[in-house]
Structure 1
Amino acid sequence: MQVTETLNEGLKRGYSITVTAAELDAKVNDKLVEAQPEVEMKGFRKGKVPMALLKKQFGQRLLGESMQEVIDGAMNKHFEDSGDKPAMQPKVEMQNGEEWKEGDDVNVEISYEALPVIPEVDLKSISLEKLVVKADDAEVEEALGNLAETAQDFKARRKGSKAKDGDQVVMDFVGVVDGEAFEGGSAEDFPLVLGSNQFIPGFEEQLVGVKVEEVKDCTVTFPEEYQAEHLAGKEAVFTCTIKEVKEPVAAEINDELATKFGAEDLDGLKGQISERLEAEYGGAARAVMKRALLDQLDKLVSFDLPPSLVEAEAGQIAHQLWHDENPDVQDHNHDTIEPTEEHTSLAERRVRLGLLLAELGQKAEVEVTDAEMSQAIMNQARQYPGQERQFFEFVQQNAQMQQQMRAPIFEDKVVDYVFELATVADKEVSKDDLEKAIEALDEE
């Protein structure tokens, strides 16, 4: 086998590989010898089929396998000897493919872009600020008020008051279709919050304005796709007897409210709220510090970038931004989106930082555990209620999807590793200052 370099320009590489007919023939013979003891053929005992007959019977099929194995072996040996790592799948072309016949040498051209050598970075020289926001009493009280609203109660309105949207009416009702009451169409002392869309569309709106002891007929039409087929698309009249009209009131902020949210008492609930707020602030502050870290790393390193990676990333950026600006277009049946210089510049930054973080993570032996992947899959599966299991199985069977989910976890673990080595100084700021810093990230 002969391997000749044909291109070495920047990160671009090209090689010509010639596999002689004799090498291929020897490979085929080796496979036949290996298989011969197990081959059975009419007229011969097991393992006693002559080589010439085996070659006639199986030679053509083994020739293709042998050709692929020899070329793959040559490529693997080249990457092992050279230390090159291809940025993307190498392009392999058989030069004499159309004219090739058994007994000819095989000429193959291989081209690829090598990943660059990543320079060393002194991570201990990096200095960062960590924004720290403490949850003050006003914020805790505001959060308490919001919780009280979610745990709202209802109290009776003044006698004679009309029900408003958001009020709760307690009523008896009987539903009739085609002059007859139907199963499941009646109830007593039923509490209904107007505007909750708990009933058939158009029903609750007709109860706005009712008063205690009033009898109100509500006429509605069941949806065509209603689950009970015998009612689908039919008109119904519900005779409602209003027994109570109640207005919403926020729950009192006390120990009883605290127990509803799993705390022992009000002070315990305030402590939980304070911890949750500061955890949210901490997550936002981490995003700000991560951006500052990436900005520093981007200035600290410089190396050649594989054009194919930059081109692919720029295309993805342009495509995503186009869909962000055209949210009505759900599919990809549109004209090709050509990346701009701005897209390419952003792509270069992302590729550079991606390669650097990958190198740092590899050297630090950072790994994404099975438990971390499972947690990430479960978190995303919750976005598909009722289909969690199907989503989980889809990810397990899709290597590309697994890589897409693993990549951000790996990146965050590498970032945390760098944070540990860098010099990080806490800086206490206000909530407003933190919000401005987060807004600035979106503007960049």
Structure 2
Amino acid sequence: MKVTQEKLPASQIGLEIEITPEATQKTYEQVIKNLTGTVNIPGFRKGKVPRQVLLQRLGTTRIKAAALEELIQNGIEQAIKQESIEAIGQPRLRSEFDDLINNYEPGKPLTFAVAVDIPPEVNLVKYTELQVKAEEIKYDPSRVDQVLEQERQQMATLIPVEGRAAQIGDVAVVDFTGVIAKAEGDDPTTEPEPIPGGEASDFQVELQEDKFIPGFVSGMVGMNPGETREVSAQFPDPYANQELAGKPALFTVTLKEIKEKELPELDDDFAQEVSDFETLEALRASLEERYQKEAEDKTKANKQEALVAEMLKHVEVELPATLIDQEIDAMLTQTAIKLSQQGLDVKKLFTPEIIPQLRERSRDEALERLKRTLALQEVAKRESIEVTPAEIQARVTELLAQYPDEDIDEDRLQAVVEQELLTEKIIDWLIEHSSVELVPEGSLQPPAEADTTAPETEAQTPAVATESTAGE
């Protein structure tokens, strides 16, 4: 069989395959023989249909098409094997099938063209002596105090208060209704517009400004139980409910009760209540170690990402369609699994109409992920970086010990662990052979653009809340 190769774009090889006259005749005769034994034609028993009758009933075009499909399939398989081509995915026919049918004559040579995807060639122009900057995340000791204070707030007991007015830090029980305040020039005879979700009874308000829209809490400070007051406030812009964004509001608030928080002592008993540690000192030490490691890990991740991003600027690679489609498939599968685990109906989200749009949106990320993976693999290949079976087994054993009750596919786990360990080794090698300058956190971030979307908070009752309020 004669095969001619040509290099095509997007990591493809074009093959022009010439089938011998003997093969075109033999396949045609075999198709006729097979059809004779399987087709039902009235007046004839199976296997006894005369050749001429079969050709008249089925038509030569149908028989030639069946023979061609077999010739093309076998021809591609033989050509790939003969030329030792490392093909990926399904080859694509470049010749028009209708033209092949018209030109196909049994006993004469048949020539057709196909395109085959092959693994891409990765050209790493530069991957050592790279110079990058990465943000250093420093450990903030105040985080420990913040976490402990949050735990104290959550464990607080609400104690009714009498004989004084409401103040910041209290929890107030109120009834209120809200309307959109009239602006200058509005018709004074029209009724004010009620705020959707802007009313409640026996509602607990934690008197902290960041819990509600501006003005609502400050307007309540100084109120006494039984007092009713009109409080002016302003919805922020942006706001979750765009119809309310930036609008002034007027609330009629009746204070029914004041409570204050009684916080637990920050001592060993507290540590035992909120953790498995016996002493507050041990709990603090554990939190400090945790946040120090977290800062170190984030700094390391920043270094890795900065270095890989710089390396990708020096990578030249043409990606075949097969790999791109496989990467998009993997990304969508991962998304579907996560959504399913959250209890969402994936079939309703991944409809036949939506899937093409999802694939197109995923394309750029798929290209970036493929480029990154192939570049790292090329570094490993050039520098003979690999992971030993002992290293893989040690990490697998460690992970299995952490999840003793989980049903884990060990073969799948080993494959994932091997890839993760190899990636770690490659990036560590890149860091050793490059220069990474650590700079202060936030210094490499682009100027933040105004966010025109607000968190979805209008579902909380009342509409004035800006985040979850304190419970009992």
> What is the TM-score when the length of structure 1 is the normalising length?
0.50
> 1 or 2, which has the higher helix percentage?
1
